[in-house]
Structure 1
Amino acid sequence: MYGNLVVNSWVGIHEGCDISYSVNGSDDVYFTASGKSQPFEFFFNFASLRDFIELGGKALAEMSALAEQEEAEWDAREQAALGQVADQPV
């Protein structure tokens, strides 16, 4: 009759979503993300927030490196396309 409660949720927080926080003492904080739909609230204690921010920093660094790589590849393709047009006889 008794079992483990398993809760799974997915939330997309996109540019333009309102994000706020409420500190509830020295060891916990609630964040709220909202947009056109119902707000979503999530809780961190001090240690888990520190871990989340550390991982978030790593994720941002990885995303920035990928963005630079993608931009360089896009620029190379664009230059190659321009070179092909310049090589065609008029």
Structure 2
Amino acid sequence: MSQDLNVGSWVIVRRGCPIAYCVNGEEIEFRLGSRHDGFDFVFEVAALEAFVEASQEVLAELTRA
């Protein structure tokens, strides 16, 4: 089992979903949805950079199609 990822749930994010974040030192906490029924996840800085890079690649691929 990987020690780099702990998973407890999954979500589908649709247009209009509120997205909030909070920087806590070297970790960035994101919340999708509202405070009462949202989904929270946390990135370390390097992991967030890798996620953003992968997201940019996906968006570039989608705009080429």
TM-score, scaled to structure 1 = 0.59
Question: Partner residue of 1:20?
Answer: 20
Question: Partner residue of 1:72?
Answer: none
CA offset at residue 50 of structure 1? 0.4
Q: 1:40-88 CA deviation, whole Å, 9 max, x = no partner?
A: 000000110000000000010011112xxxxxxxxxxxxxxxxxxxxxx
- Percent identity between matched residues is 37
- Name the structure with the higher helix share: 1
Between structure 1 and structure 2, the one with the greater Rg is 1
The size of the alignment, in residue pairs, is 59
Cα RMSD of the aligned pairs, angstroms, is 1.8
Consecutive unaligned residues in structure 1, runs of 5 or more: 1-5, 67-90
- In 2: Cα distance, 1:61 partner to 1:8 partner: 30
Consecutive unaligned residues in structure 2, runs of 5 or more: 1-5
Moved over 6 A (4+): none
TM-score, scaled to structure 2 = 0.80
- Name the structure with the higher strand share: 2
- Counterpart amino acid of residue 10 in structure 1: W
1:1-90 aligned within 5 A: 7-25=7-25, 27-34=26-33, 38-66=37-65
**1:45/1:7 Cα in 2 relative to 1: closer, same or farther (>3 Å)?**
closer
- In 1: Cα distance, 2:8 partner to 2:16 partner: 24
- Counterpart amino acid of residue 23 in structure 1: V
CA offset at residue 13 of structure 1? 0.8
